[in-house]
Amino acid sequence: MSGSRKVMVTGGAGFIGANFVRYWSEKYPTDRIVVLDALTYAGNPANLESVAAGENYRFVHDNILDASAIDELMQQEQIDTIVHFAAESHVDRSIHEPDAFIQTNVIGTNNLLMAARKHWIDSDNAPTTHLFHHVSTDEVYGTLGPDDPAFTEQTLYAPNSPYAASKAASDHLVRSYHHTFGMQVTTSNCSNNYGPYQFPEKLIPLMIVNAVTGKPLPIYGDGSNIRDWLYVEDHCRGIDRVMNKGHRGATYNLGGNNEWRNIDIVNQLCKSIDAAFAANAHLAEQFPDAPAAKGKNTESLVTFVKDRLGHDWRYAIDATLAETELGYEPQENFESGFQLTLDWMLNNEAWWRAVMDGSYRDWISKNYSAAG
């Protein structure tokens, strides 16, 4: 695709969505970006502060469960491209309350597809080109043993958590709109992301926040579970490649070639925090409750806790197709990406404090009316 696009980004106030909006508005400044986000607990307009002033940008506080609101917005903005991030995304929450995952991830995705079909396929005023890019996850493939080959695009779906099952359902819906209605779609299935603006319920930001505030670092089970980590900007670059060069109707796996056991990640994170405090005396004043501020090792906070129910043991992505067909290649390795993330968290205490103490929610309710 080329020329100026009218891009709707769902879930653009969340972690990856906000990084994507920043990335896209810098790289394609003539594209119009319309963020559609319900501002659930995971959505935060502060994540988009740096793009909010742009004239090609609009934020719409609405819910993908509201089919008529999507329809109206697509008509009003003449949207020709949808990048669909909006989802309930946390596995632990899906174990406790699966219903919201089915609503947003399955019904919400179908609402978007129905609106896109109406405006792009059934309408007399359909744009000459269109694209629905669906952002999905490696969790749809299930879990791997120690010697299993990494997930390819041919790996059979075997989702194990309600979250993964809801994402798998949405992937199938997207595929079906291509096959049945000829909608131009692409899907990317990505491994674990980390980086700026990640909600501190996910492993890496949670551990950083707990480490500098002197709270336990809870490791599920024995910490031997493995994830394949990708710096969030590399995910955004990968989505860009898929959208601009990928075959319509195809699925591409995106990953970091960076498999780590959880316990090794946390130990490494503890060492990096100790080193940061040793190099910068100011950090001990900023975070007086951190063990590193009191001459202790951060590792002293590591605590093994009850395992997650149905905890997938290992994820690993084989991104050969995206590499060979699209030229996809991550720019950060885990060391560089992690350092960027740690520096960002240490320099943005106000952001995560507001998220952790809930004060950002008060600000949202004062500034945004309830979404449908």
Q: Is 91 in the site for ligand DAU (CB under 6 A)?
A: yes
Q: Which does 133 bind (CB under 5 to 8 A by kind): ligand DAU, ligand NAD, none?
A: none
Minimum CB–partner distance for residue 117 and ligand DAU (Å): 26
Q: Of all residues in the chain, what percent are helix, strand and coil, respectively (each to 5)?
A: 50, 15, 35
Q: What is the DSSP letter of 28?
A: -
Minimum CB–partner distance for residue 29 and ligand DAU (Å): 29
Give the tokens for residue 244: 């601009």
Give the tokens for residue 311: 């905890």
Tell me, yes or no, if 318 is annotated catalytic.
no
- Report the chain's terminal Cα–Cα distance, integer Å: 32
Instruction: Give the β-pairing of 259-261 and 226-231.
Output: antiparallel
**In this structure, how many other beta carbons lie within 10 angstroms of the beta carbon of residue 190?**
26
Q: Which does 187 bind (CB under 5 to 8 A by kind): ligand NAD, ligand DAU, none?
A: none
Minimum CB–partner distance for residue 157 and ligand DAU (Å): 14
Which residue type sits at 16?
A: I
Cα–Cα distance between 189 and 171 in angstroms, integer? 9
Q: Is 192 in the site for ligand NAD (CB under 6 A)?
A: yes
Q: Is 138 in the site for ligand DAU (CB under 6 A)?
A: yes
Minimum CB–partner distance for residue 238 and ligand NAD (Å): 11
Q: Is 368 in the site for ligand DAU (CB under 6 A)?
A: no
Among 32, 37, 131, 214, binds ligand NAD (CB under 6 A): 37
Minimum CB–partner distance for residue 132 and ligand DAU (Å): 19
For ligand NAD, give the closer residue by CB, 57 or 199: 199
DSSP-based three-state secondary structure for 315 = coil
Among 9, 43, 150, 292, binds ligand NAD (CB under 6 A): 43
Tell me, yes or no, if 264 is annotated catalytic.
no
Among 56, 218, 300, 340, binds ligand DAU (CB under 6 A): 218
Cα–Cα distance between 289 and 210 in angstroms, integer? 10
Residues in region 139-158 near ligand DAU by CB under 6 A: 139
Tell me, yes or no, if 332 is annotated catalytic.
no
Residue in this structure with the two tokens 């001990």, named with its chain if needed? 284
Residue in this structure with the two tokens 């910490």, named with its chain if needed? 223
Q: Choosing from 28, 163, 197, 315, which is the catalytic residue?
A: 163
Residue in this structure with the two tokens 């009218």, named with its chain if needed? 6
Cα–Cα distance between 191 and 106 in angstroms, integer? 20
Cα 286 → chain centroid: 29
Residue in this structure with the two tokens 């949808």, named with its chain if needed? 82
Chain residues binding ligand NAD by CB under 6 A are: 10-11, 13-17, 37-40, 42-43, 63-65, 85-89, 104, 108, 135, 137, 167, 190, 192-193, 199
Chain residues binding ligand DAU by CB under 6 A are: 89-91, 137-139, 191-192, 202-203, 206, 218-220, 225, 227, 262, 308, 315
